[in-house]
C-alpha cells in the first residue's frame, strides 16, 4: 500500500498546485474516458460484427430452413404482366413508371403470390418496398378484410414513406391504409383505426400503445406481418415491444422480413416465428451498389468542420445528406452550414415530429439542398434526388454505413459518398472496408483552400455551438415529455 502523504506534506501543496494538479488530472481523466469510450465502441462494434460474422458463417446449415434464390438464376419474370397481377396493380405499376420488376421483385413476388414466408435481402434502393407490398395487395383484392396487413418500420419517416407506396400501388382498389407512429396525436390515430383500415404501417412502440389502450382495435384478423429493415427491428432496443406484439398477433399468418443488411442470428429470426420461409437474396450479405462512388478524406484533429465546408463548396447546388452521430452534432452542423450561406436543415430525434416531417418535406421538395441528419434518416428513406452522402461522423456500426450511403445511387442512378475520417476512426473504417469488401479510395483536398477557409469556419463554429446550446436549453425548458422513442436511433443523445 503506497504510503499516504503525511498531514504536514499535504499542507505544503499550494492552492495553485492543487488547481494545476486538478486540471491536469481532469485532462488525464478526460483522455482516459475518451480512450475507454473508443475502446468500448470498438469492442461493441467488433462484437456486433463478429457475432454477425460467426452466425453468418455457420448460418446456412443450422439457420431457419430457407431456400436460397440467387440472382444468378435467369429470372423467368421479365415484366409485371408475367407475374399475373390483377389489372388494378398492373395499372398502378405503370402509373408509377415501373417498366419492369427489379431483381428482388422478380424473385420475391412469385413466392409471395404462392403464400410463402419470405426473407428478402437486396441492396439499398432496389425496390424492396414494392416487393412486399404487391403480394399483399394482390391477396387483399381477393379478401377485402380490414386489419389485413401490418408493416413495421424502425423510424416514423420510413413508415410514412411505405404508406405512400401502398397508397400509390393500391390507388385503383379502394385501399384504406393508415400510418401509426409516435409523436403524432393518439386520438386522431384511434379514429383512423376505427375506420377499419386494410393496411397499418407503424412504428412498434405506438402500435403497441394502441393495441393496449384503443378500445375495439385488435390485430386478431391479421393475415400479413412485414418487418421492413428487419435486422434493425430485431435489434435489442425493439426487443421487449416486439415480443409483446408477437404474442398477441395470430401465429397463422404470412411473415415477410426485408432489409439490405440481414441478421443471420438464428434466435432473432425465430423470434419472428417464420414458417418454412424462402430466403430471396439478390445481393450478398452486405453489399453497396455498383453505381455508388465511395471515398474517404483523412481529417486532421480540429479541421473536420473546415473539411466539411470545403466539400459543401465543392458540391454547391447538389442535393446532399450529411450524417452525424448525435442530435447535437446534427443541429450544430446545420447551423454552421447556414451561418456560412448554405441551405441546410437538421433532422434528428430532438426535434418535434412536425419539425421532422417539415424538414424532410423541405429537403424532398428542394427548398433546402442539404439535410443534416442522425441515423434516424439512415434507413429506407427514398429521396431520388440525393446526389451526395457525407459521413461527418463515421458510424460505429458497419451496417449503418451501408444504409447511410444507400440514400444515394438508388434505382440504378449514380451517386457519391465521402466519409470524414479522423485518427480516432481508423479502426471503424477498416471494419467497414472489410464488411463491404472494398478499400475506400482517399481523396485529398486542396490545402490552400483549406487554409484559407479555416479561420472563418472556426469563428462560425463557435457561434453554431452557442446557438446549439441555446436550442437544447429551450428544448429542456419546454420540459418536453420524454415519450418513448419509437426511433431506433440508439446513438442519438
Ligand atoms: N420496378 C421498378 N422500376 C422502377 N423503379 C422502381 C421499381 N420498384 C421500385 N422503384 C423505385 O425505386 C426506388 C427505391 O425503392 P425502395 O425505396 O423500395 O428501395 P429499397 O430497396 O426499399 O431501399 P432501402 O434498402 O434503402 O430501403 C423508389 O423510388 C421506387 O419508387
| pLDDT tens readout for residues 39-77 | 555 554 444 444 444 444 334 333 455 666 655 556 788
Do 231 and 104 sit in the same domain of this protein? yes
Residue closest via CA to ligand 1's atom 2 equals 98
Three cell numbers written together for 311: 466539400
ipTM for the assembly: 0.99
In-domain check, residue 33: no
Do 179 and 299 sit in the same domain of this protein? no
pLDDT of residue 9: 33
Alpha-carbon dihedral sign for residues 117, 123, 125, 126: negative
Q: Return the C-alpha torsion angle 188, 189, 191, 192, nearest 10.
A: 120
Which neighbouring-strand residues pair with 178? 200
Question: pLDDT above 90 covers what percent of the chain?
Answer: 73
Q: How many domains are contained in the chain? A: 2
C-alpha 102 to ligand 1 mean position (Å): 8
Do 260 and 313 sit in the same domain of this protein? no
pLDDT value at 247 more than 70: yes
| pLDDT tens readout for residues 327-367 | 999 999 999 999 999 999 999 999 998 999 999 999 999 99
| pLDDT tens readout for residues 276-324 | 999 999 876 667 888 999 999 999 989 999 999 999 999 999 999 999 9
Do 203 and 245 sit in the same domain of this protein? yes
CATH code of residue 195:
3.40.50.300
Three cell numbers written together for 406: 444507400
pLDDT of residue 11: 38
C-alpha 400 to ligand 1 mean position (Å): 19
Closest CA to 298 of 478, 457, 425: 425
In-domain check, residue 345: yes
Ligand 1, pocket-test mutation among 382, 404, 417, most atoms within 8 A of CB:
382
| pLDDT tens readout for residues 114-132 | 999 999 999 999 999 999 9
In-domain check, residue 449: yes
Domain C-terminal end among 216, 249, 281: 281
C-alpha 152 to ligand 1 mean position (Å): 17
Alpha-carbon dihedral sign for residues 217, 218, 223, 225: positive
| pLDDT tens readout for residues 120-176 | 999 999 999 999 999 999 999 999 899 999 999 999 999 999 999 999 999 999 999
Give the integer Cα–Cα distance in Å for 403 and 487.
15
262-270 average pLDDT score = 80
Residue closest via CA to ligand 1's atom 20 equals 125
C-alpha 125 to ligand 1 mean position (Å): 5
pLDDT value at 477 more than 90: no
User: 326 is in which domain, residue-wise?
Assistant: 292-482
In-domain check, residue 106: yes
Q: Write the CB contacts of 429 (distance below 8 Å, at least 6 apart in sequence).
A: 296, 394, 419, 421, 440
Q: Edge-to-edge, what's the strand order for the sheet holding 320-323? A: 292-298, 415-421, 388-391, 320-323, 370-373, 344-347
Residue closest via CA to ligand 1's atom 3 equals 98
Note the Cα 256 to chain centre separation in Å: 19
Give the CA count within 13 Å in the CB-facing half-sphere of 392: 33
Give the integer Cα–Cα distance in Å for 317 and 366.
10
| Protein residues with CB under 6 Å of any ligand 1 atom | 98, 101-102, 105, 122, 124-130, 260, 380, 382, 384, 406, 410-411
Amino acid at each position: 500500500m503506497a504510503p499516504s502523504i503525511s498531514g504536514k506534506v499535504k499542507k505544503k501543496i499550494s492552492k495553485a498546485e492543487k488547481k494545476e494538479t486538478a486540471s491536469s488530472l481532469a485532462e488525464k481523466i478526460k483522455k482516459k474516458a475518451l480512450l475507454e469510450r473508443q475502446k468500448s465502441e470498438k469492442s461493441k462494434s467488433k462484437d456486433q460484427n463478429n457475432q454477425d460474422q460467426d452466425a453468418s458463417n455457420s448460418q446456412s446449415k443450422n439457420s431457419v430452413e430457407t431456400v436460397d434464390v440467387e440472382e444468378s438464376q435467369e429470372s423467368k419474370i421479365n415484366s409485371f404482366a408475367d407475374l399475373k397481377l390483377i389489372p388494378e396493380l398492373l395499372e398502378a405499376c405503370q402509373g408509377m413508371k415501373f417498366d419492369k420488376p427489379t431483381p428482388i421483385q422478380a424473385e420475391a413476388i412469385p413466392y409471395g403470390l404462392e403464400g410463402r414466408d419470405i426473407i428478402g435481402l437486396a441492396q439499398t434502393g432496389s425496390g424492396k418496398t414494392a416487393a412486399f407490398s404487391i403480394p399483399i395487395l394482390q391477396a387483399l383484392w381477393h379478401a377485402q378484410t380490414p386489419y389485413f396487413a401490418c408493416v413495421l418500420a424502425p423510424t416514423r419517416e420510413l413508415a410514412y414513406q411505405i404508406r405512400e407506396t401502398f397508397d400509390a400501388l393500391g390507388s385503383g382498389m379502394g385501399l384504406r391504409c393508415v400510418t401509426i407512429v409516435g409523436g403524432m396525436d393518439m386520438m386522431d390515430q384511434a379514429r383512423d383505426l376505427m375506420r377499419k383500415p386494410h393496411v397499418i404501417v407503424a412504428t412498434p412502440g405506438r402500435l403497441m400503445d394502441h393495441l393496449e389502450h384503443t378500445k375495439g382495435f385488435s390485430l386478431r384478423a391479421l393475415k400479413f406481418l412485414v418487418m421492413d429493415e428487419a435486422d434493425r427491428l430485431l435489434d435489442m432496443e425493439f426487443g421487449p415491444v416486439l415480443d409483446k406484439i408477437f404474442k398477441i398477433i395470430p401465429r397463422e399468418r404470412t411473415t415477410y422480413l426485408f432489409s439490405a443488411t440481414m441478421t443471420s442470428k438464428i434466435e432473432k429470426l425465430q423470434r419472428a416465428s417464420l414458417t418454412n420461409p424462402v430466403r430471396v437474396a439478390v445481393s450478398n450479405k452486405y453489399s453497396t451498389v455498383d453505381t455508388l462512388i465511395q471515398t474517404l478524406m483523412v481529417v486532421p484533429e480540429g479541421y473536420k468542420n473546415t473539411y466539411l465546408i470545403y466539400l459543401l463548396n465543392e458540391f454547391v447546388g447538389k442535393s446532399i445528406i450529411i450524417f452525424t452521430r448525435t442530435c447535437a452534432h446534427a443541429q450544430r452542423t446545420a447551423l454552421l452550414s447556414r451561418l456560412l450561406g448554405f441551405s441546410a436543415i437538421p433532422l434528428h430525434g430532438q426535434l418535434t415530429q412536425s419539425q421532422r416531417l417539415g424538414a424532410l418535406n423541405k429537403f424532398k421538395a428542394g427548398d433546402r439542398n442539404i439535410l443534416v441528419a442522425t441515423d434516424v434518416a439512415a434507413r429506407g428513406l427514398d429521396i431520388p434526388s440525393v446526389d451526395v452522402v457525407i459521413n461527418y461522423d463515421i458510424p460505429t456500426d458497419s451496417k449503418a454505413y451501408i444504409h447511410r450511403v444507400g440514400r444515394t445511387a438508388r434505382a440504378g442512378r449514380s451517386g457519391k459518398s465521402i466519409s470524414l475520417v479522423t485518427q480516432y476512426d481508423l479502426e471503424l473504417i477498416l471494419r467497414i472496408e472489410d464488411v463491404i469488401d472494398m478499400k475506400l479510395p482517399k481523396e485529398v483536398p486542396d490545402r490552400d483552400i483549406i487554409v484559407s477557409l479555416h479561420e472563418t469556419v472556426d469563428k462560425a463554429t463557435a457561434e453554431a455551438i452557442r446557438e446549439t446550446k441555446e436550442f437544447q436549453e429551450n428544448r429542456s425548458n419546454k420540459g418536453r415529455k420524454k415519450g418513448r422513442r419509437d426511433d431506433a436511433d440508439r446513438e442519438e443523445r
